[in-house]
A and B are shown apart, each in its own frame.
Chain A
Amino acid sequence: MSVQVSPIDEVKTTPWSGGRSPFNVEYGKMMMWFFLLSDAFTFSSLLIAYGALRFSSSSWPAPDLVFQSVPGLLDSGAPLVFVGLMTFILILSSVTMVLAVEAGHRMAKKEVLWWMVATIIGGFTFLGCQALEWSHLHHEGFWWGSIPNMEELKHLFKGGNEATYGTYAQQFANLFFTITGFHGFHVFSGVIINIIITINVLLGTYQKRGSYLMIEKVGLYWHFVDLVWVFVFTFFYLV
């Protein structure tokens, strides 16, 4: 005799009917996503404040005039070349990170290790480039609360009322150092986290655990840092 199951007693198997995780991701990975979402809000508020101030200004230091040096090689005449190099390095380090994740899926410890090392080198190179960029701008006279003298400022603007140059150059300096500084701090923390994870890979922690899921979690953070740079690059250097 077959048992009749009424519709209400039928076991539901949809993702949201309980008994299993609707997101189907491990707890730590989900929390990393939610942290990144909150971090996205922080960066957005900084970038939107920058946008609002810049949008309401009648002139602004022109990016291709402010950023036209390659530290150590050229003092001027190479707009966007150095920052292009920085962008390339960061995208490249994001690629080596995905390659580490991919190697982790295959449980290839050695490959994970080398791709992680490559990612760390990329991170340090980016930080070094940013330090050069900062020190170059600092030598020109830009810093939190300080700007170059009027004579030099005239070379950094394309038109607009000269009386307002000081105000807008100061807003530019404060926003530039705050936003790239906050991003650089994220890159720095990312490099430290990557180093810790790489040491764990070397010790065989994840091999013993049977999964390289941790690489995916730090990978998410690292890609997020790359993602933020894509926006910083567009809004500070291109627009």
Chain B
Amino acid sequence: MSSESAEVHHEEHGEGMTRKKILKVFGVLLGITVIEFIIALWLVPAGHIPLHWANPVYIVLTLFKAFYIVAYFMHLKFERIGLALCIIVPILFIIGLILVLTNESHYWVDLRA
């Protein structure tokens, strides 16, 4: 084993997730999922909020969950900024594809009508 990877291991050691932190993140993920269920099973069927309001809320909550999984479980928050950027910046292409195809599907609606 090279001295470099030993050093890598040592540096990560100090910033690792403690059990308390792990359980806290688990609580957040579970809490967000429970909120999604309350919206889907009670708030929308009972007519408290319309469906087209619920959908953006689901997406925002999902992105929150994604952030917690990537940042804490996958440890990206504690990695060097260079690595984090290498992973996160290319995701912009995905956002681009979402925007392009959302626009395109509006056009398809008109074609089908």
Could you tell me which A residues sit within 8 Å of B by CB distance?
Answer: 15-16, 20-26, 30, 33-34, 36-37, 40-41, 44-45, 48-49, 51-53, 55-58, 64, 79-80, 84, 87-88, 91-92, 94-95, 97-99, 101-102, 105, 209-211, 213, 216, 219-220, 223-224, 226-227, 230-231, 234, 238-239
Contacts and interface: CB of A to CB of B under 8 A. Distances in A.
Range for the number of chain B residues in contact with chain A? 35 or more
Interface of B: 1, 4-6, 8-9, 11-13, 16-19, 22-23, 25-26, 29-30, 33, 36-37, 39-41, 45, 54-55, 58-59, 61-62, 65-66, 69-70, 72-75, 79-80, 82-83, 86-87, 90-91, 93-94, 97-98, 101-102, 104-106, 108-109, 112-113
A230 B69 contact: yes
Secondary structure of the B side of the interface?
A: helix
A85 B54 CA distance: 21
A62 to B, nearest CB: 10
A209 B11 contact: no
A20 B80 CA distance: 13
Nearest to A234: B62
B104 to A, nearest CB: 6
Contacts of B19: 99, 102
A25 B19 CA distance: 23
Given A56-B105, A102-B19, A45 B69 contact: no
Contacts of A239: 55, 58-59
Which 5 pairs show the lowest CB-CB distances between chains A and B? A56-B108, A56-B105, A55-B105, A52-B101, A23-B83
